[in-house]
Structure 1
Amino acid sequence: MDADLKYPAISDLRARARRRIPGFAFEYLDSATGTEAGMARNRAALDAVGFMPEILRGKITADISCTFMGQAFPLPLGIAPVGMAGTIWPGAERLLAQAARRIGIPCGLSTVAAATPEEIGPHAGDMGWFQLYTPADREICRDMLRRARAAGYKKLIVTVDVPGESRRERQRRAHLSMPPKLTPRMVAAMATHPRWSLAMAREGAPRMKFAESYVPKTVKGARAFAHAGKIIRGYPDWDYIAFIRQVWKGDLLIKGVQNPADATRLRDMGADAIWVSNHSGRQFEGGPAAITALPAIRSALGPDTPLIFDSGIAGGLDIMRAIALGADFVMSGRAFHYALAAMGPPGVDHLIHMLTDDMQSNMAQIGAKSLADLPERLLPQSL
């Protein structure tokens, strides 16, 4: 059956992913923290952003391509880094990097991926962005950045909105721990999802390979995983950002910004792009919706600083909303992992087709021929 009929929306890919992977893996991907009010607030705030339809404009085939930070892309969308993505689908980091390079969109690799930059960099090519969780030891940080650069990564994402662990209660109810511990409940879930389990047997159990490469060789098993977690827990401050700016010679993107004053300070410290995000509600449920922070940050930065948005993207219309409110580019983590878990690598191509079609359809409804037309089509209450 045509994928457009079977999976016409991201919600359909999500539902298929839920059936296709074990419950603990789905909960890791899908959950937020607390009562998930933060995730719900993201959705409600995005839904509140509207556009004025425009009639009698003739046939419109909108151009949704863009150039961002010197690179041309077919649409203003990339794959956000997701830690331990190999838990969601075996080999996810490699498969997503390969798809991103084929399609021509950026793909983020997390410090806590189940694969190293050396393994994934050649697959990502020029589309690879490396995401850093700052180690407490700055010499380890320096070496991590050296390795990422040597693996071909020219853009560095520093995530600053994870000052500590979040509880993510849904994950706890699913009995998911890091590293995953085999329990009778998990074994039963794996047995009822043989495709996932066979793929995992081929790939091997997911681990934080990059961080674990800095753990002493005498530390083994679960202790090595725990030790690796401590290594990357660096509690960064402003001085640490200045250190990274000094060491890293490529583009520096700061992810997790919601305050305009922080955005301008980071720009003045040498950040090449600001990334507005609330971690999709996975860290803190009591803050603002990320989309509500976007216009004020754009206003504070002015028109020239590259601005990225993520948090809650559920369709092409959401990408349009973010662009209209000041973003130059949009990233999504969950959607791409739903697609991969639902359909395997072809799911990524289907997702891009779906979002491209959705954006062009909606832009025709409002008479927008390009992304630059979107801000003037916003309803006044959306500004």
Structure 2
Amino acid sequence: MRHAGSINFNPRYPTVGDLREKAARRIPGFAFDYLDRGCNQQVNLRRNRSDLEEVILKPQYIGDFPGCNLETSVFGTTFAAPMGMAPIGLQGMIWPGAPEILARAMFTHNLPFILSTVSTASLEEIARITEGKFWFQFYHPAADAVRDDLLDRAWASGCRTLVLLCDTPTFGFRPGEIRNGLSMPPRLVPSNLWQMARCPAWTWATLKKGMPGFANLHAYMPKRMNLRELGNFMDGFFDKRMTEAKLSYIRDRWKGKLVVKGVSTPEDAEAAVRLGMDGIIVSNHGGRQLDAGPSSIASLQEIAPAYGDRITVMMDSGLRNGPDIARAVASGAKMTFLGRAFMYAVAALGNAGGEHGIHLLKTQLQQIMEQLGCRTTADLPTHREPF
């Protein structure tokens, strides 16, 4: 594993909020809305944040303190900190080359990177960047042959942790994407062209990189489809509802670690344990699927005490800073994943964004652990106020 060299950190952007504001000015509105917004009225997007901010951590100020260690072990691998890159689709539309930038930064800093099936970088390219040390989020295809081929490609690429998505039985109702006519590649209608013209850095980078596409799916897509045909193809390509039969089949076939992502209830956590999964990621898809559902931190606080000693429990959705990571780990998560925070960094700073985002979050996490007097991430639960 390569280790970090000099840190590329820009002091003009000392918070994720600063990066978000810069990203909003630097990328087209349709790309920013896709990254930033949730579904329906964005109630659960807000709930993710408000519930996290209610978690209180207790400091211990008197006594010896030799320092803190951020390292965290998951599935037999020790990572530099309890955080990684959450899977995000269409990353290259938000910023050209974003998955490659973030995969390289995560690998350099010894942090887990999860690639989405519908990312704009292929399994094979991310495997080359990370020397096969990445996780793959698996959207279940409708065709058995495609399912098996994607599983074989992931294994051949070196991936040993497969993340099975279970919280997209239907596509989320997202008014911003409807208004923008979101598509891949972006539709060249007057409103989108105007947005691109106002963002010359994004437009120039896109021209250099080439229009983004679904890199993992090219082998299964008919050639020369128009936008309507592409939309129809994508709508029918995935078998969106996860079932126990699907999980059992993949469990029998996949020899590495299996994680179910999108768990938000004890019932689904129990099913994951019963079916032999190795881990779960408690998640509500960043508030992008079910506006009336619970926040991820509320689900974690219910699931982790009951299942944390039976399966590896992790979390994403709503995390924006180092204190949030500490709150989630203190609530029972062994690892946390952030999506928007790292994508804001890349959208704001381009190639430097991955390094900047990692340095920022690790610095914040270390500061709060030192303030608490917490020596290791495993000790964080002892600093949490009762639920």
Check the 8 A contact 1:207/1:225 in 2, yes or no. Answer: no
In the other structure, the counterpart of 1:295 is 301
In the other structure, the counterpart of 1:62 is 68
Distance 2:347 2:222 in 1: 34
In the other structure, the counterpart of 1:221 is 226
Check the 8 A contact 2:244/2:275 in 1, yes or no. Answer: no
RMSD: 1.7
Q: CA deviation at 1:81?
A: 0.8
Structure 2 residue 212 is the aligned partner of structure 1 residue 190: no
In the other structure, the counterpart of 1:135 is 141
Q: CA deviation at 1:214?
A: 1.0
Distance 1:118 1:373 in 2: 38
In the other structure, the counterpart of 2:4 is none
> Per-residue CA shift, 1:293-335, capped at 9, x if unaligned?
1122122224252111001111101111111111100001111
Q: CA deviation at 1:273?
A: 0.6
In the other structure, the counterpart of 2:182 is 176
- Local SS of the residue matching 2:374: coil
Structure 2 residue 346 is the aligned partner of structure 1 residue 340: yes
Distance 1:4 1:367 in 2: 28
281-290 or 369-378, larger mean C-alpha shift: 369-378
Distance 1:229 1:147 in 2: 22
In the other structure, the counterpart of 1:45 is 51
Amino acid at match of 2:370: A
> Per-residue CA shift, 1:27-86, capped at 9, x if unaligned?
111010111000111111101100122223355532111111111111111001101101
Distance 1:196 1:29 in 2: 15
- Local SS of the residue matching 2:11: helix
TM-score (norm 2): 0.93
- Local SS of the residue matching 1:331: strand
Q: CA deviation at 1:207?
A: 1.4
* Match of residue 256, structure 1, among 254, 262, 269: 262
In the other structure, the counterpart of 1:107 is 113
Q: CA deviation at 1:349?
A: 1.4
Amino acid at match of 1:279: H
Q: CA deviation at 1:144?
A: 0.8
Check the 8 A contact 1:324/1:374 in 2, yes or no. Answer: yes
Distance 2:11 2:216 in 1: 40
TM-score (norm 1): 0.94
* Match of residue 76, structure 1, among 76, 82, 85: 82
Amino acid at match of 2:203: S
Residues 84 and 251 of structure 1, relative CA distance in 2, 3 Å threshold = same
Distance 2:365 2:112 in 1: 19
In the other structure, the counterpart of 1:160 is 166
> Per-residue CA shift, 1:85-115, capped at 9, x if unaligned?
0110011121211111111111111111112
In the other structure, the counterpart of 1:377 is 383
Matches within 5 A, 1:268-279: 268-279=274-285
Check the 8 A contact 1:157/1:255 in 2, yes or no. Answer: yes
Matches within 5 A, 1:229-244: 229-244=235-250
In the other structure, the counterpart of 1:20 is 26
Consecutive unaligned residues in structure 1, runs of 5 or more: none
48-57 or 255-264, larger mean C-alpha shift: 48-57
Amino acid at match of 2:173: R
Amino acid at match of 1:142: D
Structure 2 residue 152 is the aligned partner of structure 1 residue 146: yes
Check the 8 A contact 1:20/1:196 in 2, yes or no. Answer: yes
Consecutive unaligned residues in structure 2, runs of 5 or more: 1-7
Amino acid at match of 2:364: D
> Per-residue CA shift, 1:152-193, capped at 9, x if unaligned?
211111110000011211222334334521111111111111
- Local SS of the residue matching 2:220: coil
Check the 8 A contact 2:85/2:114 in 1, yes or no. Answer: yes
Distance 2:343 2:53 in 1: 23
Amino acid at match of 2:82: P
Amino acid at match of 1:239: A
Report % sequence identity: 38
Distance 2:264 2:384 in 1: 22
Residues 116 and 308 of structure 1, relative CA distance in 2, 3 Å threshold = same
